[in-house]
Amino acid sequence: MSLAALPVYLRLEGRPVILIGSGDAADAKRRLLTRAGARIAGEDADAALAIVIDDDAAVERLRARGVLVNAVDKPDLCDFTLPAIVDRDPVLIAIGTGGISAGLAASLRQKLETMLPGDLGRIARDLHAARPAIRERWPDMADRRQAIGAALESLEGDVIARILAPGEPAPELLRFTLASPDPDDLTLRQARALASAERIYHRANVPAAILDRSRADARRICAIPPADPGAGLSIDLEMAS
């Protein structure tokens, strides 16, 4: 599975961003850029990014200068697109569709708004402040990641206390027999495990589309797992015959 685009978060505080156009669309983009701290500039500005409404000629001029352009409602002319955003400062969740369906992105944003607690930003700040204590409690990275993941299964209550609680994470090996090569057919438990596993032991016939649902830094091992998988969560995947 390849990425249609690389999602990134840009720090725009005090930096110029070219905005060309008028009307409601331009006003909405101006508000978004202002919230991000960008300095709104005209076409001649020395800037790396531009947002253009209904001016294909300006798009071509800017791209010829090496400026990355978002052409509003014209995904084929875009070097980058602007996602729908769930803002729980400092947590930002971006939902993008490559510019092909702003309505779908907005609908997903609304669903996430109802699912995520309003104090998610506070939880993030608490986790950052507790990093030294968490590292001392869980010096092994795999153990630390497992402890944090288990504590964050619920965002209610004292997350930090759950992470720092006494006890050792037991090595865990989950065995999944996949009924379908389609990643959309994964159960919720399987999808969650893939997203958090340290190691993925898999048979050779497991499709890449399934394996790509795991973390990018998870080890993929085409082999039968050992009896003791070691610290952290491991998964043994095979396709149904």
User: pLDDT class for 153, splitting at 50, 70, 90?
Assistant: confident
pLDDT tens digits for range 203-238: 888 889 999 999 888 889 888 777 666 656 777 877
- Predicted confidence (pLDDT) per residue in 49-86, tens digit: 999 999 999 999 999 999 999 999 999 999 999 999 99
Strand 16-20 and strand 233-239: pairing?
A: unpaired
Higher pLDDT, 178 or 85: 85
For residue 66, give the amino acid letter. Answer: G
Q: Which residues pair with 95 in a beta bridge?
A: 84
If you count them, how many residues does the chain have? 241
**Is the overall model pTM greater than 0.75, yes or no?**
no
pLDDT tens by residue, 79-88: 999 999 999 9
Quick one: pLDDT at residue 232? 65
- Beta-carbon contacts of residue 37 (< 8 Å; ≥ 6 apart): 12, 13, 14, 15
Sign of the dihedral defined by the CA atoms of residues 227, 153, 90, 35, in that order: positive
- Alpha carbons 49 and 67: distance in angstroms, whole number: 6
User: What pLDDT score does 30 carry?
Assistant: 97
Average pLDDT, the chain: 90
Domains of the chain: 16-82 (3.40.50.720), 120-164 (no CATH), 172-239 (3.40.1010.10)
